[in-house]
Amino acid sequence: MIDILEKRHAILVAEFDRYVVEHPKFATKIPQNAQIVLQVEGDEEYNEWSRQLADKQRESGQIVVYVKVKGLKPAKSRLIKPEVVLP
């Protein structure tokens, strides 16, 4: 089960990074060098795992910030006008 949680976490971290890049004003709410703990509404298994991971990785005296999300939109392709080229 940990493998699934790790994959979910990797996806959430990538999406969070993308969100911060696209919404820089949101990032200003997060203190410098804060430990960010992602939490997903209704997913207590992941949330507990994420909190435990953060506890293990947190530096002494580091501020903790919880970022709660409602979930992820369904994945969709971001390809632009793909073409099939036959030899």
29-80: pLDDT as tens digits? 999 999 999 999 999 999 999 999 999 999 999 999 999 999 998 888 888 9
Average pLDDT of 12-22? Answer: 95
Average pLDDT of 16-35? Answer: 94
| Residue 55: Cβ-neighbour burial (10 angstroms; 0-12, 13-18, 19+) | exposed
Residue type present at position 32: Q
Is the Cβ–Cβ distance between 40 and 69 less than 8 Å? yes
For residue 15, which of 62, 63, 76, 82 has the smallest C-alpha distance? 76
The pLDDT value recorded for residue 75 is: 83
Instruction: Determine the Cα–Cα distance for residues 63 and 76; give it in Å rounded to an integer.
Output: 35
Instruction: Determine the Cα–Cα distance for residues 47 and 49; give it in Å rounded to an integer.
Output: 5
Q: Residue 2: pLDDT above 80? A: no
The pLDDT value recorded for residue 86 is: 94
The pTM for the full model equals 0.81
Instruction: Determine the Cα–Cα distance for residues 78 and 58; give it in Å rounded to an integer.
Output: 34
Domain limits of the chain?
2-69
In which band, very low, low, confident or very high, does the pLDDT at 1 lie, cut at 50, 70 and 90? low
